[in-house]
């Protein structure tokens, strides 16, 4: 069960990373705790699925969709639009390392690469690049999927159980 | 074409249009997606019994007041102030637009409320810097960084954001500010590898710049495109791309110095 502990540890850091962006975006103070929680949940889902060998884009999508769904009741409860929760919360899932490797690959491809290693560098770069693109699309589309599925213009029109009026 | 007579009715309409545009531009500059700007402004107009049409772009909003037959009475434009993300303003405007339906507001009340929302306080600088530093450490931890690397990323992100704020204050172009910031952060975090405190993966170095990620432009870009506001979506996507490019340039400059 050590993997679970490691993922929980990472989730806490994921929540903290979300809080950093919350401060940067000047969110209302009352939404801090939910942003921390959702950031952690997103990271937890992503890394858990990755542990069970799911595709990285799909794992990120699952995390983002979960955050999107959770943002709707939170928006009701805290009287604030859902984007205030989901934007800071998905940012910790952005694949920084992969993007960095892609850029390094692009740089070495634009230089004067050795013929022997060109093919390997090219395929690595394309692989990293595609992953980055698909993860970014998954994250951005994932958080709005709940709103698309519920087909309402505003969260106020969605009936959420157990909320105060 | 006949001139519009400045009857009291039209005067009132102009005042209303001004308040509506003020709301729209404020939302846009605070980082709301186009769909939200559109629905909020329409909702407010509806609450006051006016019908309007909107054209929203990244840097300006056009508003046309319509008469009962759907014909245009007049059109006005307002330029959007520079985009500085402020979710507290978005939240406040959302609350305000809903409360219009519960109690009657006068235009003056609306104007005062907008004035207040525009000048909402931001978090103290030290708190933002600390939290963003911790966010940097969080990113490093997500990338399997060791505790020492986490500490380096904290300092790097903290000082990186400080440099960005100072550069923006000094009137630098936003992209140039991002470049300076990414360069500073990666230069500090990269020293961990040079001091032998980091393994070959350079976790601290890579993750120190992630606090600069253009999350709002990138996510809003996709929500705009899905909403059918393709033009704004493409614009925002390109802004996000340019910011990412500035980050890459900053990190590559320090790579050149450190010979990574």
Tell me the residues of chain A between 2 and 21 that have a Cβ less than 8 Å away from chain B. 9-10, 13-21
Residue A74 is assigned to a structural domain of this protein: yes
User: Is residue A73 in a domain?
Assistant: yes
Pair B44, B114: CB distance under 8 Å: no
Kindly state whether residue A109 falls inside one of the protein's structural domains.
Answer: no
Question: Which residues of chain B have a CB within 8 Å of the CB of A137?
Answer: 222
- Cα angle B222, B225, B226 (rounded to 5 degrees) comes to 85
Tell me if A101 is assigned to some domain. no
Q: Which of residues 63-122 of A touch B (CB under 8 A)?
A: 79-81, 83-84, 86-88, 90-92, 94, 96-97, 99-100, 103, 107
What confidence score (pLDDT) does residue A165 get?
A: 45
Inter-chain Cβ pairs, chain A and chain B, closer than 8 A: 140
Quick check: helix, strand or coil at residue B51? strand
Looking at the complex, does the CB of residue B248 fall below 8 Å from at least one CB of chain A? yes
Nearest to B222 among A43, A88, A140 (CB): A140
Q: Find, among A72, A143, A151, A149, the residue nearest to B219 by Cα.
A: A143
Is the pLDDT reported for residue B1 higher than 50?
A: no
- Tell me: the pLDDT tens digits for B31-70? 999 999 999 999 999 888 899 999 999 999 999 999 888 8
- Indicate if the pLDDT at residue B5 is higher than 60: no
User: Domain residue spans in chain B?
Assistant: 8-118, 125-258
* Sequential pLDDT tens for chain A (165 residues): 788 899 999 999 999 999 999 999 999 999 999 999 999 999 999 999 999 999 999 999 999 999 999 999 898 888 889 999 999 999 999 888 888 888 888 888 887 767 788 888 899 999 999 999 999 999 988 998 888 888 676 777 777 665 554
pLDDT for the residue numbered A157: 72
Q: CB–CB of A47/A15 below 8 Å?
A: no
Say yes or no for a CB contact (<8 Å) between A20 and B219.
no
The strand pair at B72-79 and B51-56 is best described as unpaired
Q: pLDDT grade, residue B153 (50/70/90)?
A: very high
Residue A133 lies in a domain: no
Look at residue A111 and tell me if it is in a domain.
no
CA distance B153 to A100: 16
Give chain A's end-to-end CA distance (angstroms, integer): 42
If one counts the domains in chain A, the total is 1
């Amino acid at each position: 069960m050590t993997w679970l502990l490691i993922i929980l540890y990472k989730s806490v850091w994921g929540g903290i990373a979300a809080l950093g962006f919350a401060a940067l975006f000047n969110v209302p103070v009352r939404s801090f705790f939910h942003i921390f929680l959702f950031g952690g949940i997103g990271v937890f889902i992503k890394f858990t699925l990755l542990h069970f060998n799911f595709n990285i884009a799909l794992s990120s999508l699952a995390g983002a969709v979960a955050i999107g769904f959770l943002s709707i009741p939170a928006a009701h409860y805290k009287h604030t639009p859902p984007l205030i929760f989901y934007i800071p919360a998905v940012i910790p899932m952005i694949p920084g390392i992969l993007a960095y490797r892609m850029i390094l690959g692009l740089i070495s491809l634009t230089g004067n690469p050795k013929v022997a290693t060109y093919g390997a560098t090219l395929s690595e770069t394309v692989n990293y690049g595609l992953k980055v693109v698909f993860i970014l699309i998954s994250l951005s589309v994932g958080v709005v999927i709940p709103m698309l599925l519920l087909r309402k213009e505003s969260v106020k029109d969605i009936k959420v159980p157990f909320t105060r009026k | 074409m006949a001139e519009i007579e400045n009857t009291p009715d039209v005067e009132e309409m102009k005042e209303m249009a001004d308040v509506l545009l003020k709301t729209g531009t404020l939302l846009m500059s605070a980082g709301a997606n186009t769909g939200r700007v559109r629905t909020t402004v329409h909702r407010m107009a509806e609450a006051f019994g006016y019908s309007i049409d909107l054209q929203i772009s990244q840097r300006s909003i056009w508003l046309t007041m319509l008469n009962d037959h759907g014909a245009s009475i007049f059109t006005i434009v307002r330029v959007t102030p520079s985009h500085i993300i402020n979710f507290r303003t978005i939240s406040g405007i959302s609350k305000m637009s809903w409360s219009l339906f519960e109690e009657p507001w006068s235009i003056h009340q609306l104007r005062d409320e907008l004035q207040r929302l525009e000048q909402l306080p931001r978090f103290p600088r030290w708190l933002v810097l600390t939290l963003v530093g911790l966010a940097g450490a969080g990113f490093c931890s997500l990338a399997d960084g060791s505790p020492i690397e986490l500490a380096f990323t904290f300092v790097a992100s903290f000082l990186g954001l400080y440099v960005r704020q100072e550069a923006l204050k000094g009137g630098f172009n936003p992209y140039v500010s991002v470049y300076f910031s990414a360069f500073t952060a990666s230069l500090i975090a990269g020293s961990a590898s040079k001091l032998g405190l980091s393994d070959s993966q350079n976790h601290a170095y890579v993750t120190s710049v992630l606090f600069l990620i253009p999350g709002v432009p990138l996510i809003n870009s996709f929500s705009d495109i899905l909403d059918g506001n393709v033009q704004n979506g493409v614009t925002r996507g390109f802004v996000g791309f340019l910011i990412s490019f500035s980050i890459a340039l900053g990190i590559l400059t320090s790579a050149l110095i450190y010979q990574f």
